[in-house]
Amino acid sequence: MSFILDFFKGILIGAGAILPGISSGVFCVIFGIYEKLVDSVLNLFYDFKKNIAFLFPLALGGIVGVLLVGKLLNFLFITYPMPTKFCFIGLILGSIPILFKQANGNKGFRLHYLIFLMSAFFLGVLSIKLESILPNVLNIQYSNSYFFYLVFAGLFMSVGIVVPGVSSSVILMSLGVYTTYLNAIATANFHILFPIGIGILIGSFMFLKLIQFLLCNYHSQTFYAIIGFVLGSVLVIYPRY
């Protein structure tokens, strides 16, 4: 029963990895497994059997969630692009109160926390420019260097997977590869999925260590930065044509 329950949790966590405005990390927080998940991944070989027993159904469900939701999203973005984008903007804004509650949970609100919120918000706004110019400036699509760019995209996508409130899909939108990613899932194109997967694996271990340190030592500041980035991500999704 525990395996089945964790499997369905994994499906939602996998869906959060590709739904714009929704974070896999938020689902982990909602299910009450975020800290245990971080510890299990970072200490995988300290108690390998126990950690694998916990992680395997989540990982299996995550793969199923990505495949199922990826095909549906690919259809929606092609057939109903405007309603789909506005739907996800609503999901983003709806998650803000939960993040504020988590941010103020330890010590309450401090005025200087707004500095972290505003700084992250401007980074989110900057990502709009990155979405339109970065792939063109690098001039790498369909070239040999595109493999390494996809690894780079997967590396930063992992931020949205491990950090509650940050959408990995919005990050891919900022880098101009979200549509490519959806098409690759729908068509099982491993020439695209493999390098992204490499970046996700590398980035997950890197950012899990970082987020563990930040949440332990700068909990509220970290969450206010997350809120700022989430607010900025609305402008990334917002239809501009």
Query: Does pLDDT of 60 surpass 80?
Result: yes
What is the phi-psi region of residue 109: left when phi exceeds 0, alpha when psi lies from -120 to 50, beta otherwise?
beta
pLDDT-wise least confident of 8-22, 122-136, 213-227:
122-136
- pLDDT per position as a tens digit, 125-180: 776 565 555 555 444 454 556 788 888 888 888 877 777 666 777 778 777 788 88
How far is it, in rounded angstroms, from Cα 241 to Cα 232?
18
The whole-number pLDDT of residue 221 equals 84
- pLDDT per position as a tens digit, 37-51: 888 888 877 888 888
Helices (H) and strands (E) in the chain, counts: 11, 0
How far is it, in rounded angstroms, from Cα 205 to Cα 207?
6
Q: Which long-range contacts (CB under 8 A, 24 or more apart) does 133-137 make?
A: 134/175, 134/176, 135/175, 135/176, 135/177
Query: In whole numbers, what is the pLDDT of the chain averaged over residues?
Result: 77
Residues 6+ apart with CB under 8 A from 203: 154, 155, 156, 157, 158, 159
How far is it, in rounded angstroms, from Cα 44 to Cα 52?
7
CB burial of 133-152 (b: ≥16 within 10 Å; e: otherwise) equals ebbeeeebeeeeebeebbbb
The whole-number pLDDT of residue 213 equals 83
Angle, CA 84 vertex, CA 20 and CA 238 arms, to 5°? 65
- pLDDT per position as a tens digit, 78-87: 788 788 778 7
Q: What is the mean pLDDT of residues 2-12?
A: 85
The whole-number pLDDT of residue 193 equals 87
The full set of domain ranges for the chain reads: 2-237
Other residues' Cβ atoms within 10 Å of the Cβ of residue 160: 28
